Chains A and B, each alone.
Chain A
Amino acid sequence: TQLLEQSPQFLSIQEGENLTVYCNSSSVFSSLQWYRQEPGEGPVLLVTVVTGGEVKKLKRLTFQFGDARKDSSLHITAAQPGDTGLYLCANSGGSNYKLTFGKGTLLTVNP
């Protein structure tokens, strides 16, 4: 099972600040998915990155996949309270059907 390490574990910032969270592994990712989970709900897919060096943007969120495909980052510009949630990265580790999740970064954006 491929282990996914996410950092930081907790992050509390003020509205308007920028932030970056990370997902790392000692093994090469075939692809990587990022999810956001809000309290009382299930995770929701934000993006999938597949190609080394790939950058994807989703409004104020920028996702980057490392050139070596061992790491990924999520950058949020001008964070808003609505960005509050648990951010999870996930990967199959080469399995056909199973997705393994990191422990997540719990983000709190204060008004």
Chain B
Amino acid sequence: DAGITQSPRHKVTETGTPVTLRCHQTENHRYMYWYRQDPGHGLRLIHYSYGVKDTDKGEVSDGYSVSRSKTEDFLLTLESATSSQTSVYFCAISEYGRDNSPLHFGNGTRLTVT
């Protein structure tokens, strides 16, 4: 299994509080991704990174920011959590980032915003 660790695995927070989710990899892969998974919507890309300090937006980036200061760590921050951000968040990594290059996923973080 690819070495991907997401932390925390579960979190409950209140509306309006900041939240940071961490993704740590030991594979030295260049590309890292944050997805959210919701019933009826499937997996949707929030942000991705194609190198240290190189990031870009996905299709549902509003309300989220990311940072990547080291190859191994990709942080997702909700500056002011809202109930609509209750979801399961998955981090993924890819060695080549190309069309047919597979993604390897972590086991997710279940976030509940009350």
Contact = CB atoms under 8 A, between A and B. Distances in A.
Interface of A: 1, 30-31, 33, 40-45, 48, 50, 88, 90-92, 94, 96-104
Given A33-B100, A102-B42, A103-B41, A97 B48 contact: yes
A94 to B, nearest CB: 8
Interface string B101-114: 01111111000000
B100 A50 contact: yes
B42 A45 contact: no
B62 interface: no
Contacts, number: 65
Contacts of A94: 99
Task: For the complex of A and B, list the 8 residue pairs with the smallest distance between their C-beta atoms, beginning with the closest.
Answer: A42-B105, A103-B42, A101-B43, A31-B100, A45-B102, A92-B99, A97-B97, A48-B100
B107 A42 contact: yes
B43 A43 contact: yes
Interface string B61-74: 00000000000000
Contacts of B33: 98-99
A100 B45 contact: yes
Contacts of B4: 42
Contacts of A30: 99-100
B58 interface: yes
Given A98-B58, A103-B42, A44 B99 contact: no
Contacts of A99: 33, 45, 103
A103 B40 contact: yes
A40 to B, nearest CB: 7
